[in-house]
Amino acid sequence: MELLQLKYFCKVAETQHLSRAADELMISTPALSHTIKKLEKELGTPLFDHVGRGIVLNEGGKLYYNYVKNALLQLARAGDAIEELTSKKYKLRIAISNPMYWDDLFAAYRKTHPQIKLIVFLVQDIKMWNDPDLKIDFYMGNAHDFTRNNYKQQSLFPEEKPLLIVNKNHRLAKYKSIDLSACENETFFTLHHTNFSMAMWQDLMLRLAGLKNIQLEEGSYLARMRKIHNNSCIGLSTSRGYQLDFMPDKDIVAVPIIQPYVPRQQAISWDESITLKPYAQNFFDFTVAFCQKEQV
């Protein structure tokens, strides 16, 4: 069994089409077919079932794919680790869904660890979220968003309670707490193109509330604050989000939502099947300590 066989197998498994996989691998379809048949012969079992003109992984193929994909990822990371060790250029790849939550943390870490380069990128849509080739050391964001196999999570802040954000003169500002069903016929401001994670949560909250007659506006954080400040719409946030985004504005108030009650939980996630590199472990420890200090 050769490494190239395994890479070819993964490509076929992901495309579920021999000729398409062959085109992407820049080899002939017969050569790729021969490679897959040779692998199946070595394993003593077929890995694919033929469905129409395509092929799909059978039960054994799905099991084998999960192991092979993880092994290839480990090999790639091992190569990265050796390269970093010899070059003394250390990098951590961190995926986030909301930069406002982590700016202070990253600034503090970079100041005390200048030899380590943080590569931080924003997860912007469901396709990127589910990309099996997304190489990261950590994901930092809402714990319920990230459900990859083998990933372990550590909560960083207390549970964030859901809030309705309104202008102080809005009719709903008088409530001490609220059921979202009372928001029928209102205009909600959402962050669909700004914060993918928050957008999923907002959609879930509105769907669970069963609201039928509402209007939706989309835009940035600043646009949301301005619109709510001007009493032209209302919005959804959380206890921590309200502190970060709205607290300086005395014309904006937060009303606790009691139904539907869907809290958010900020966490750091990592692949526990892969041993953390020493400087990755250092970043994890620094992050946990930093967030604990922020809560004091």
Numbered ranges of CATH 3.40.190.10 in the chain: 89-157+265-294
Nearest-5° Cα angle at 188, 144 to 259: 55
Answer whether CATH 1.10.40.30 is correct for domain 3-72. Answer: no
The pLDDT, as a whole number, for residue 87 is 60
pTM for the whole structure: 0.67
- Please, which pLDDT band fits residue 296 given cuts at 50, 70 and 90? low
- Please, which pLDDT band fits residue 79 given cuts at 50, 70 and 90? confident
pLDDT at 141 exceeding the cut of 80: yes
CATH number of 89-157+265-294: 3.40.190.10
Two structure tokens written together for 140? 């930092």
Residue appearing with tokens 């890479």: 7
Residue that wins the pLDDT comparison between 28 and 296: 28
Count of CA atoms in the C-beta half-sphere (13 A) of 227:
20
Q: Mean pLDDT over residues 70-84, rounded?
A: 74
The pLDDT, as a whole number, for residue 71 is 81
- Please, which pLDDT band fits residue 2 given cuts at 50, 70 and 90? confident
Q: Mean pLDDT over residues 206-224, rounded?
A: 90
pLDDT at 232 exceeding the cut of 90: yes
Q: Mean pLDDT over residues 269-284, rounded?
A: 88
Two structure tokens written together for 200? 């999923």
Q: Mean pLDDT over residues 26-32, rounded?
A: 89
The gap from C-alpha 83 to its chain's centroid, in whole angstroms, comes to: 27
pLDDT at 123 exceeding the cut of 90: no
The pLDDT, as a whole number, for residue 230 is 95
pLDDT at 77 exceeding the cut of 80: no
- Architecture of the domain made up of 162-259: 3-Layer(aba) Sandwich (3.40)
Paired residues of 118 in beta bridges? 92
Determine if residue 26 is left, alpha or beta; phi over 0 gives left, psi from -120 to 50 gives alpha, anything else beta.
left
The rounded distance, in Å, linking the Cα atoms of 269 and 145 is: 11
pLDDT at 67 exceeding the cut of 90: no
The pLDDT, as a whole number, for residue 70 is 77
The pLDDT, as a whole number, for residue 257 is 97
pLDDT at 193 exceeding the cut of 80: no
The pLDDT, as a whole number, for residue 129 is 63
pLDDT digits (tens, 9 = 90+) for 144-159: 876 666 788 999 999 9
Numbered ranges of CATH 3.40.190.290 in the chain: 162-259
pLDDT at 178 exceeding the cut of 90: yes
Numbered ranges of CATH 1.10.10.10 in the chain: 3-72
**Mean pLDDT, all residues of the chain:** 87
